[in-house]
Structure 1
Amino acid sequence: MSKMSTEPVRHALNGPTMGTRWSALFFAQTGFDPEPVRAAMQAAVDEVDGQMSTWNPDSDLMRLNAAPVGVWVAAPDRLREVLQRGLEIGRASGGAFDIGMGDAVTAWGFGPEAAAPDRIHAAMTAGRVPAHEAFEIGETSVRKLVPVDIDLNGIAKGYGVDRLANTLQCHGIKAGLVGIDGEMRALGLRPGQKAWTIAVEAPDSERRVPHSILTLQDAAVATSGDYRHWVDVQGRRLSHTMDPGRGAPMLTSPASVTVVARSCVEADAWATALMVLGADRGAPLARKHGLDALFLLRDDDGSTRGVGVGRLFSEEPAAIASAGER
């Protein structure tokens, strides 16, 4: 038998989801059929999208948004799980991560409808209750305690990545790299006992280039930034990250925040929370919760500097190696 016949075969799968694409990379023995895995992964992300999309008026999330205050609404397990995680991280972040910003997201044109001045005014003048105080989650249903529109765009992709990872594991695949639009999760090690290599993107709207390189094993990474999705208002570019205190896009924020955590749902939500808080307030909170986080900040001269928290990102900005220096 030749040596090549016993070496693991590389499989790269992908498909559409949430307005972008999911991907999976793993190795399996010769003769392994990846099609059942592909189908199961597509079904997993389709389920997440079908339950949590704000673009689909028939999604479970939109049914909940349309329900009157105080009325219990049946909600599938996965939606309730994501709502619960969102509320927990909202509480832990002091409201910096708030899933109850759906009205503001829509008003400013980051949803399926164009921005509208009357909705912007309403979002900015609304009396807001933090989402973690606005819901009651039961065993099979959810109810709103105050008027609120939920938006899960800051957490659903991360959850979708975790579902991709779980699907791999259910098919007996213990090592792989899965992702949705830059949110990634690594399982185990590559052949040769090597960690998975992932680039942290530089906050550049004109091109996609790496800022630094991570090597991960059994961990997830997510980045929130101001350089991919924005609106221009009176000549000023505003990012899609909402300030819960204003009901409007952040006026000042890091260029990006990258978080490494055990699960991608955690990394995704915390990356948004730390974008809202900024490095001065966010770094101590990340440290308190044991997160590895990298804040990329723009200086007045246009250069970018990093502020790191945790073992992966040294506390000293100078210790963060850029990809170009490796």
Structure 2
Amino acid sequence: MPIKIKTGPVLPALFLLCIAAIFSACTPSPKSWQLSGPTMGTSYHITVVDVPAGLTRAELQQLIDSELQQVNQEMSTYINDSELMRFNRGPVGEAVPVSEHLAQVVELSKDIYRRSDGAFDVTVGPLVNLWGFGPQPEPEQVPDDAAIASLQQQLGSDALTIDRGPDRITRSRPVQIDLSAIAKGHGVDRVAQLLETKGIANYLVEIGGELRTLGRNPKGREWRIGIESPDPSGRIVQKPISVSGKSVATSGDYRNYYERDGVRYAHSIDPRTGRPLQHRLASVTVIAETCAEADGLATALNVLGADAGLKLAEREHLAVFMLVKTDAGFEERYSSSFEPYLERSEK
């Protein structure tokens, strides 16, 4: 039975828009396999090309499932004895030994927290739950200012100190870590690294819309994916791009929300205000070297909004594509570092 990492019983609390891989012109060759299965409350889809001799499909599937189960055991908030949940119940003010993977992901999370001026915060879980986008049901009434302010006192990735070699994490305050906004990307990276250790140099790994590619597709061409348009009527490709050798993640707020007294409350919570986002940025897609970084940055930029998000993207040379809601539909905005991907796709 799959174990969810995301904070939500059916839809993830930090739901990331699906990026559909374009396979329509890529009928698998005899040397390519397509593998899939459940994980992290969603599913994975993997295409591998030119599989080395001696490696069986069943063996590779078992290795992938085992790796993803390990990610769950390290980082899930739905497994009571996962490494993360044991850490969250551990002592405050003491350096707690952790696995290399957990230290690595928390270290990256804190780095994105710093770069985004607190827009990305892996301690935001209590607020997500308060607004009804976690394990708790939707509230009958919108949370009041006092409840929000009280929980905000319990947040802040600045309370986390990470030491590497030996790997240890210290909490200066009793914050609770929830890696929902970055664990899928990390899972993609782990599977990609596994494939490469088995000599597979051409692949596409996707978990719940986050993906990483290398090499060529079954037709010998660059991998192409479609950035999904935020249209609730169905999955429509807004922009096809070539992304071989890169990772891609998208974050948005148009599918997981509820309304109270005519006001729409989306699942993405700004940890700085304690409230759901109210800006007009519908989705943001990030291309990066690793999927964990793309995953975390997509969430951070979604929280920041279009203007502040693009400023960060330009400052740090991030490849970012945004869809912003207008009265007439959606407006495309993108960073300078994203332009080469558009040019490659138009050739």
TM-score (norm 2): 0.83
Alpha carbons of 1:53 and 1:231: their partners in 2 closer, same or farther (altered >3 Å)? Answer: farther
Alpha carbons of 1:238 and 1:320: their partners in 2 closer, same or farther (altered >3 Å)? Answer: farther
Q: Residue 300 of structure 2 corresponds to which residue in structure 1?
A: 273
Q: Distance in 1 between matches of 2:79 and 2:91?
A: 19
- Amino acid across the alignment from 1:37: L
Cα deviation for residue 192 of structure 1 reads 5.3
> What stretches of structure 2 of length at least 5 have no aligned partner?
1-28
Q: Distance in 1 between matches of 2:76 and 2:68?
A: 11
Cα deviation for residue 118 of structure 1 reads 9.5
Alpha carbons of 1:72 and 1:158: their partners in 2 closer, same or farther (altered >3 Å)? Answer: same
1:295 to 313, 322, 330: 322
Q: Residue 40 of structure 2 corresponds to which residue in structure 1?
A: 18
Q: Residue 69 of structure 2 corresponds to which residue in structure 1?
A: 46
Q: Distance in 2 between matches of 1:112 and 1:56?
A: 13
Cα deviation for residue 211 of structure 1 reads 0.8
- Amino acid across the alignment from 1:206: S
Cα deviation for residue 206 of structure 1 reads 2.6
Cα deviation for residue 8 of structure 1 reads 5.0
Sequence identity percentage: 37
- Amino acid across the alignment from 1:227: Y
Verify the 8 A CA contact 1:99 1:152 in the aligned structure 2.
yes
Q: Residue 3 of structure 1 corresponds to which residue in structure 2?
A: none
Q: Distance in 1 between matches of 2:79 and 2:260?
A: 27
**1:4-29 CA-partner distances (Å, limit 9, x unpaired):** xxx75220001111100011101125
Q: Residue 131 of structure 1 corresponds to which residue in structure 2?
A: 156
1:94 to 100, 117, 125: 117
Alpha carbons of 1:236 and 1:119: their partners in 2 closer, same or farther (altered >3 Å)? Answer: closer
Verify the 8 A CA contact 1:292 1:310 in the aligned structure 2.
yes
- Determine helix, strand or coil for the equivalent of 1:255: strand
Verify the 8 A CA contact 1:27 1:176 in the aligned structure 2.
yes
**1:234-255 CA-partner distances (Å, limit 9, x unpaired):** 3333222110112222122410
- Determine helix, strand or coil for the equivalent of 1:312: helix
- Amino acid across the alignment from 1:91: R
Verify the 8 A CA contact 1:182 1:223 in the aligned structure 2.
yes
What number of residue pairs does the alignment pair up? Answer: 314
CA RMSD in angstroms comes to 2.6
Alpha carbons of 1:66 and 1:230: their partners in 2 closer, same or farther (altered >3 Å)? Answer: farther
Alpha carbons of 1:241 and 1:173: their partners in 2 closer, same or farther (altered >3 Å)? Answer: same
**1:253-302 CA-partner distances (Å, limit 9, x unpaired):** 4100000011101111111111111111111211111111011011023x
Verify the 8 A CA contact 1:13 1:23 in the aligned structure 2.
yes
Higher relative contact order (CA 8 A, sep 6+): 2
